Amino acid sequence: MRLGTVLSGDSLLTVASDDGSVVHDISRYAGPDGLCGLIGAVELDDIATIDLSAYPIIDPQNVRWLPPIPKPGKIFCVGLNFSTHAAEVVTEVRDNPTLFTRFPSSFVGHEEPLIRPHVSDTLDWEGEIAVVIGKAGRHISATDAPNHVAGYTVMGENSVREWQLHSKQATAGKNFDSSGSWGPWIVTRDEVPNPSALEIVTELNGSQVQHGKLADLVFDIDAIIAYISTFTELSPGDVIATGTPAGIGHRQKPPRYLAPGDELTIRIPGLMELRNSVADDSAGSK
């Protein structure tokens, strides 16, 4: 099952699809708290058995796609979690996950423009697979971690490199409004029996620039969930981005950053793809 959130006129709708082609409005089933409330209130395995024929079909071309959970309580990102990416930025792989957080306002949905800020022209791509928490927990063991997963999604965990490198803390460069994206769907965990087999592919204007496999993560999803839940309770709707593979624009020679008119496509082959164009900040230009 694929689950998402769209804006139809002034109405926020929870939507679902078996394969991404036919989209159903399941807002009546989800309730007033939308997708985040749904995955927190219903047994995760039951969501995958929703009878979509009981809900109206909508035209996905007549709505605006939002991040599947527009305002997650927490968004964690794991840095340098592919050894190939750690090597390209010339840093050692650490003994524990490198974490930073992002704000919901830094993300847009599928087919919405990514905004290059007027204060810097160093917006860079980072394609990632993210996991969405479906069951609350603290001190979750790695063995039990899969039971806390609602599903998987695609994230453009993009960075404004110039600002990311202002200090040793990445917060500024990671949180420019509308600089990243995620969605369009959360694919429920029953469709992903072996998460380590998932691949992530990033294309810029139709040319592949990144490719990675979750099997090559330094810290796998179970280890990440266990680590994070040691210091904070994970809640339904929280999002964890697992890291980007090698191939960022900052390390190309010469560096290649996202520019207005570029088209960025990030996909998990066989499951979904996230597409965004790039536009300049209307506040001005550098």
Q: How far, in Å, are 141, 147, 169, 223, 244 from residue 229 at the CA level?
A: 9, 13, 22, 10, 22
pLDDT the model gives residue 111: 98
Smallest CA-to-CA distance from 199 within 263, 247, 128 is with: 128
pLDDT at 91 over 70: no
Q: List, in sequence order, the alpha helices (H) in the chain.
A: 27-30, 34-41, 44-47, 83-88, 161-164, 171-174, 221-231
The share of the chain scoring above pLDDT 90, in percent, equals 87
Task: Encode pLDDT of 161-209 as tens digits.
Answer: 999 999 888 999 999 999 999 999 999 999 999 999 999 999 999 999 9
State the number of CA atoms in the 13 A half-sphere of 255 facing the CB: 16
Q: Which amino acid is at 52?
A: L
What's the confidence (pLDDT) of residue 85? 60
Q: Is 125 left (phi over 0), alpha (psi -120 to 50) or beta?
A: beta
Residue whose C-alpha is closest to residue 153's, from 21, 266, 279, 13 = 266
> Is the predicted pLDDT of residue 70 greater than 80, yes or no?
yes
pLDDT at residue 59 in the model = 96
Q: What is the mean pLDDT of residues 117-122?
A: 96
Amino acid at 188: T
pLDDT, position 41: 86
**pLDDT for the residue numbered 282:** 83
Give residue 46's pLDDT band: very low, low, confident or very high (50, 70, 90): confident
Summarize the confidence of residues 252-273 as an average pLDDT. 97
Give the pLDDT band of residue 86 (cuts 50, 70, 90).
Answer: low
- Please tell me the predicted confidence (pLDDT) of residue 90: 55
Q: Residues 6 or more apart from 120 whose CB is under 8 A from it?
A: 160, 161, 162, 163, 286
d(CA 139, CA 57): 41
Question: Which amino acid is it at 98?
Answer: T
Please give the pLDDT value at position 137.
97
Mean pLDDT, rounded, of the chain: 94
- The domains located in the chain, with CATH, are 69-280 (3.90.850.10)
DSSP structure string for 30-43: H-TTHHHHHHHHS-
**What are phi and psi for residue 61, nearest 5 degrees?**
-80, -10
| 244, pLDDT greater than 90 | yes
- The confidence score (pLDDT) of residue 87 equals 64
Q: Is 282 exposed, middle or buried (0-12, 13-18, 19+ CB in 10 A)?
A: exposed
- Flag whether pLDDT at 284 surpasses 90: no
Confidence at residue 285, expressed as pLDDT on a 0 to 100 scale: 47
Contact between 243 and 79 (Cβ < 8 Å): yes
Residue entry with tokens 């927190």: 40
Render pLDDT for 10-44 as a digit per residue (tens, 0 to 9). 999 999 999 999 999 999 999 999 999 999 888 87
